[in-house]
Amino acid sequence: MALGLREFGESRVQEAESKISELGEGQRWHLVGHLQSNKAKRAVQLFEEIHSLDSPYLIDELARRAQDANRSPRCYVELNTSGEATKHGVAPGGALELLRLLQSASPLRAVGLMTIGPLEGGPDGARASFRTLARVRDEARDRGLLGAEAELSMGMSEDFEIAVEEGATIVRVGSALFGSRSAG
């Protein structure tokens, strides 16, 4: 914050609560980690942007909770572009259907797509994953499911340069700034 940053991300709802209250007003908070439906109520109260919508049920629950809280978060459909079983997200082939649901889930606002690069495959694997996300974004724009300014949330500390080369508009560089997250 002292350097002028005003956009912050957090992977876990429960960890965000203390950080947001400690830092006070003036920041925009992004939930970049997996969201469980039982945390949807608190997520809409804390975050302006939610990057991890990956199921119809979660979209419905988040829309209901946002309506109750009179909030309108910017939302991203999370894609599993690597096909890794350990990752969350819808397969690329299911993304347009989720975007259709999200687009009609007022008061949520569909603004983009998110992915996490593969654990294996090095730079070429990361590039392929990010290109897949950009291709799905282009198709979604062509079909009117995302606007011309659609966001691509992709790339983390290890691969953000490749993500930027492939069109990322949002990168997540927490471990580069703060070090690795401790286990637990």
Query: Structure pTM?
Result: 0.92
Q: Give the closest residue to 34 by CA, choosing from 137, 138, 114.
A: 114
Question: Is the model more confident about 114 or about 17?
Answer: 114
In the chain, at which residue ranges do the beta strands (DSSP E only) sit?
7-10, 28-31, 49-53, 74-78, 109-114, 151-156, 170-172
Burial class (CB within 10 angstroms; exposed 0-12, middle 13-18, buried 19+) of 8: middle
Q: Which amino acid is at 168?
A: A
pLDDT value of position 132: 97
- Per residue in 24-38, pLDDT (tens digit) is 788 899 999 999 999
pLDDT value of position 119: 84
Mean pLDDT rounded to a whole number for the chain = 91
Element spanning 73, H or E = none
pLDDT value of position 183: 55
Q: Any idea what DSSP says for residue 84?
A: -
Domains and CATH numbers, the chain: 7-176 (3.20.20.10)
Q: Any idea what DSSP says for residue 107?
A: T
